[in-house]
Amino acid sequence: MSDRFPDGFIFGAATSSYQIEGAVDADGRGESIWDRFCATPGKVVGSESGAVACDHYHRYAQDVEMMAELGLKAYRFSLAWPRILPTGLEAEPLEAGLDFYDRLVDALLEKGITPWATLYHWDMPQVLQDRGGWPARSTVDAFVRFADVASKRLGDRVKHWITHNEPWVVTMLGYLNGEHAPGHKDWGEALAAAHHVLLSHGLAVPVIRENAPGCEVGITLNLCPAWPASGSAADAEASRWFDGWFNRWFLDPVFGRGYPADMLADYRRDGHLPADWDALVQPGDMDAIAVPTDFLGINFYSRGIIRSDKVSEEDNAPRTVFPVEEHTDMDWEVFAPSLTKLLLDLTETYNPPALVITENGAAYATSPGEDGTVPDVKRQAYLQQHIEACRLAITGGAPLIGYFAWSLMDNFEWAFGYAKRFGLVWVDYETQARTPKDSALWYRDVITAHGIP
Ligand code: FCB
C-alpha cells in the first residue's frame, strides 16, 4: 500500500461564500464589491451574478449531508464579510450573519467534518471600497476587526483559519487588469493593495490565535511556477519577472525576506510603485507581515510557460518547452508534474512549517446522462494526476498535510459566470438539485482508501 498518504493527511473540498451562498439580501447582509461589479454592464459573462448561486445559505444543512456522504474529512469555506459587518464599519456585528456560520460549523462538526474558514475570499463590503478599498490603509484596520469578530464567535470550534485567499488575484485582477471587482486598472493601486492585504494578514494572525486557542493559521497564495519556453537569456529574464510578480512578491515577505529586491528595482524603474510607496510601507510593517504561521495554503491550477515579449520570435531561441495537449475549459494546461516540482521547490527555498493544497481542480462541462449519473472522466483524470503529484512531493520531503479539491459543487466562477463548472457535484441551477459527478464518487473512494485506489 505504498500509494497510501501519511496518517492524518486531510482530504477535503473547498468553496467560497460569494460563489455559492446566494441570498445576497437576506438578514441584513450588506452590498459587496462583487454585487456591485456584477451589476455593472460588461463585467461578467451574461451579466450573471452570485445573487442566487447555489442557494447554499438556505440549503447548507443538505449540503453538509452531501459532504458527509462523500466522506469529506474537511471543508474549506469562506465567511462573507458583509453578512457579519454589512458596511465593514459597524460598532456591533450582525448577529444573523454570525448565526449562519455558527449553524454551518455545528452541522459540520456533527458530521465529523473539520471546518477550515477563510476570512477573505473577495467579497469586501462595498462601503469599504468606496472609502478606498485595499489601496487604503484604513482597510487593514477594518479587516483585522472582521477577523477579530469572526474568530471570537467561531474560534471555540473552528481551529483552522486562512486569512486571505489569493492576494495576487485580489490585487492584480482587482486593481491592475480590472477583470475582478472593483475593476480598477492602476499599477500603483495594485501594489498599495498588495501591501495592505499582506499587512492585514500579518496583523490578523495574532488576533485569531488569541480568539481560537490552539488553532492553526495560514494564508493561501495562488502560485504559478514559471517554466521558461527555451534556454534563451530573454526567456530566463521574462521568467524571473513573471515569477517575481506572481509568486515571490507575496511569498518573500510572508517568509520574512521582505519584497524581492529585483522586483522593487523593476517596479521603481517602470514607474509602477505608488508615488507614496516609501511612506506607505511603514516601520514595522514587514515584521508584521512575516509573522510565523502554521501552514502555507497553495491554490494550484496550472504552470506558466513563459516566452519573452522583449525580443521577436525569430530573434529568440527556438522553443524547447511546449504545452501538453490537454487543457481545461478555462484553457488552462493540465500538467501535474509542475505541482510536484512547485511543492519541492517551495520546501527547499522557504522551509515552510507545513503546506496545504487549499484548492486544486478543473473546469469541464459535464451533464447528467439518462440514468442520472454524471460521467466525468476528465476531471477525475485531472484530480488523480494532481493527487499523485502531491504524493510524490511528500515522498520527496515536502511537508504537505492536506488537499482540498476545488470545488465541492458547481458555482459562480467570477467573471465567467456559471459557464465554467469546477464542481465534484453537478448543480442544476433551475431546480438547485445536486448530483454527485462520477469524479465525486471516485474521490470518495480515494478518501476511504487514503490514497488513489
Ligand atoms: C481560484 C479562486 C476560486 C475559483 C478557482 C477556479 O482563483 O480562489 O474562487 O474561482 O480559482
Residue 406 Cβ inside 6 Å of ligand 1? The answer reads yes
Nearest atom of ligand 1 to the alpha carbon of 222: 7
Grid cell 451574461 — which residue? 46
182 CA to middle of ligand 1, Å?
17
Q: Could you tell me which of 329, 448, 316 has the C-alpha nearest to residue 382?
A: 329
What does the domain layout of the chain look like in residue ranges? 10-449
H helix or E strand, kind and range, residue 431: none
168 CA to middle of ligand 1, Å?
12
Taking CA atoms, 449 is separated from 1, 9, 273, 382, in Å, by 10, 12, 50, 18
Nearest atom of ligand 1 to the alpha carbon of 420: 6
And the C-alpha cell for 416?
Answer: 465567467
And the C-alpha cell for 56?
Answer: 447554499
18/36 Cα distance (integer angstroms) = 12
300 CA to middle of ligand 1, Å?
10
448/453 Cα distance (integer angstroms) = 9
Q: Which residues pair with 400 in a beta bridge?
A: 355
Report whether 403 contacts 451 (CB < 8 A). Answer: no
Residue 422 Cβ inside 6 Å of ligand 1? The answer reads yes
| 413 catalytically annotated | no
Give the HSE-up count for residue 393: Cα atoms under 13 Å, Cβ half-sphere: 29
4/384 Cα distance (integer angstroms) = 13
| 166 catalytically annotated | yes
DSSP string, 226-295: EEESSS-HHHHHHHHHHHIIIIIHHHHHHTTS-S-HHHHHHHHHTT-S-TTHHHHS-TTHHHHHT---SE
Report whether 154 contacts 117 (CB < 8 A). Answer: yes
317 CA to middle of ligand 1, Å?
34
Pocket mutation for ligand 1, best pick of 162, 409, 413, 420 (most atoms within 8 Å of C-beta) = 413
Please, what are the averages of pLDDT over each run of 10 residues along the chain (453 residues)? 87 99 98 98 97 98 98 99 98 98 99 99 99 98 98 98 99 98 98 99 99 98 98 98 99 98 98 98 98 99 98 97 98 98 98 99 95 96 98 98 98 98 98 98 98 94
254 CA to middle of ligand 1, Å?
21
Grid cell 431546480 — which residue? 431
Residue nearest to ligand 1 atom 10, measured at CA: 413
Residue 123 Cβ inside 6 Å of ligand 1? The answer reads no
Residue nearest to ligand 1 atom 4, measured at CA: 413
Residue 359 Cβ inside 6 Å of ligand 1? The answer reads yes
415 CA to middle of ligand 1, Å?
11
Grid cell 449562519 — which residue? 100
Q: What is the DSSP letter of 354?
A: -
DSSP string, 102-138: HHHHHHHHHTTPEEEEEEESS--BHHHHHTT-TTSTH
For the chain, the residue count is 453
Peptide bond into 318 cis (omega under 30): no
Nearest atom of ligand 1 to the alpha carbon of 413: 10
Report whether 406 contacts 423 (CB < 8 A). Answer: no
145/166 Cα distance (integer angstroms) = 20
Nearest atom of ligand 1 to the alpha carbon of 330: 6
Grid cell 438556505 — which residue? 58
Neighbours of 261 (CB within 10 A): 11
Nearest atom of ligand 1 to the alpha carbon of 361: 6
CATH class of 10-449: alpha beta
Residue 166 Cβ inside 6 Å of ligand 1? The answer reads yes
Q: Degrees (nearest 5) of the Cα angle 193, 127, 84?
A: 95
Q: What is the DSSP letter of 157?
A: T
267/265 Cα distance (integer angstroms) = 6
Q: What's the confidence (pLDDT) of residue 185?
A: 98
Q: Degrees (nearest 5) of the Cα angle 29, 34, 40?
A: 120
353/214 Cα distance (integer angstroms) = 16
Q: What is the mean pLDDT of the chain?
A: 98
- For 8-33, b/e burial (b = at least 16 CB within 10 A) is ebbbbbbbbbbbbbbbbeeeebbbbb
- What percentage of the chain's residues is helix, strand, coil (to nearest 5)? 45, 15, 40
Residues 395-422: pLDDT tens digits? 999 999 999 999 999 999 999 999 999 9
Pocket mutation for ligand 1, best pick of 45, 359, 421 (most atoms within 8 Å of C-beta) = 359
312 CA to middle of ligand 1, Å?
33
Amino acid identity of residue 99, one-letter, is: D
Q: Pick the catalytic residue from 21, 166, 333, 413.
A: 166
Q: What's the confidence (pLDDT) of residue 3?
A: 84
Residue 413 Cβ inside 6 Å of ligand 1? The answer reads yes
Residues 7-65: pLDDT tens digits? 999 999 999 999 999 999 999 999 999 999 999 999 999 999 999 999 999 999 999 99
